[in-house]
Structure 1
Amino acid sequence: MSAMIKVILTEDHPLVVEGIKAMLDHQPDLTCMATCGSASALLGLLKTMQPDIILMDINLPDTSGIDLCKAVKQLYPAIGVLALSINNHPSVIRQMMDNGADGYLLKDAEKSEIIAAIKAVTKNNCFYSHSVTMTLRNADNHPLPSLTRREREVLELISDGFTNREIAEKLYVDITTVDSHRKNMLAKYNVKNTSALIKLAMINHLL
């Protein structure tokens, strides 16, 4: 039997909380271990609770989910964060990606999509709902630049968790060359960090 996936829901609308909690608790391998309606309440819970996933609203009464996501990922990098929002604006989605979110769902997502997202992130994959993916693709009027063969090799190894030094050894190149490829890709796709780069590449099937 697989281990129970523990979820904390951070959402300040009671009806949404009630609906999502009931949905999660009806799944045999999911449990909503706690709910909270603010950033401060979540940070308090995390001092004593260790969820696998946080379902996080972006519009919270005390702090934006964008800032809260960054704080949670700095303090508890192993916890998966799934944004749950009515906001489908590309800049907001990208800010969440830049701050370490592992996925982004709209509140009108189907039950099956929410469950699939939670399970995907638990397995260290990222998950963006279909409508979010389409929003990001349509945000630019021009197609994304493609990866060169060497950039693809470097990015695949980064996504597999290898360090720059290990990648250099595997590809028989200097470590500065690997770092140069990484920086070039960040600039090419206008993202702030490697995590956001990997997520963008996966969303757009560049990997």
Structure 2
Amino acid sequence: MSVAQAKIVIVDDHPLIIQGLTAMLQEHSQFVITASFTRGLEFMSYLREHAVDVVILDISLPDCNGMDICKEIKALAPQTRVIALTNHNERSLIMQMLQNGANGYLLKNASSEELLAGILQVLNGQLSFSKAIEEIITQPTVYERDPLPKLTRRELEVLKLIAAGETSLVIADQLCVSPLTIETHRRNLLQKFRVRNVAELIKISYQLGLLA
């Protein structure tokens, strides 16, 4: 697509970030900042009435999750390019944003050159990443190197109840087994996923799509 006067919207809950990005992008005649928002839902209302070529979107917003907003943007206006601009560099967040349709993922410490190049890349139908993000997403995870752990039906049931915050006593009561049996399942799950605690177990289970 032509990048002449590409319409850009900035969605970030920090006004100083918006001001800085606006000042930087206004120096380039091929871009026009048509609006900016500190809340995601306000932007979605705007998008229903206006064409947007690129939205620069923070993941952490006061009224909603940027990952959810990204998915909504793509459902409402598939032609709108979404560049995540955030401080979050967790692989799970990066992959979720891409799964939800993001065209680029840049860190807020990216240089102005990286951001400008990123906008041009997504306008030309390419994906764009900060150098640091490229390194993260090209590095295979443990579960991409090795087979995924195989869970029994009962282990999956226990996993889902653990993720729901239930104690071993409550899980044992629901599944009509002894608390000792549930503790054994807990230990087996930690071993199979090679994690140290329940928090890590739940996190990796969400990443792998085992928990809805």
For the superposition of Structure 1 and Structure 2, which TM-score range results when normalised by the shorter chain? 0.5 to 0.7
Q: What is the SS of the residue equivalent to 1:58?
A: coil
Residues of 2 paired with 1:98 and 1:66: CA distance?
Answer: 9
Give the root-mean-square deviation of aligned CA atoms: 2.2
**Distance verdict in 2 for CA 1:144–1:34, change over 3 Å:** farther
The Cα offsets for residues 108-157 of structure 1, whole Å up to 9 and x where unpaired, read as 00001101111111111111111101112235258779xxxxxxxxxxxx
Determine the C-alpha separation between the residues in 2 that align with 1:50 and 1:29.
16
Where in structure 2 are the equivalents of 1:61-80 lying within 5 Å?
61-80=62-81
1:42 counterpart letter in structure 2 = F
Q: Partner residue of 2:5?
A: 4
Deviations 1:59-109 (A, max 9, x none): 001111000000110010010000010000000000000000001000000
2:41 maps to 40
Partner of 1:107: 108
Q: Which amino acid aligns with 2:32?
A: T
Contact 1:90 1:139 in 2 (8 A): no
Q: How do 1:107-186 and structure 2 match up within 5 A?
A: 107-138=108-139, 140=141
TM-score (norm 2): 0.65
Q: Is the 8 A contact 2:3 2:31 kept in 1?
A: no
The offset of 1:49, in angstroms, is: 1.6
Question: Which of the two has higher C-alpha Rg?
Answer: 2
Residue 20 of structure 1, CA deviation = 0.5
Q: Which runs of 5+ in 2 are unaligned?
A: 147-206
Quote the residue 2:24 is aligned against. 23
Number of residues paired by the alignment? 148
The share of aligned pairs that are identical, in percent, is: 32
> What pairs with 1:89-100 in structure 2 (closer than 5 Å)?
89-100=90-101
> What are the ranges of 5 or more consecutive residues in structure 1 without an aligned counterpart?
146-189, 193-207
Report the secondary structure of 2:51's partner residue: coil
The AA in structure 2 aligned to 1:67 is D
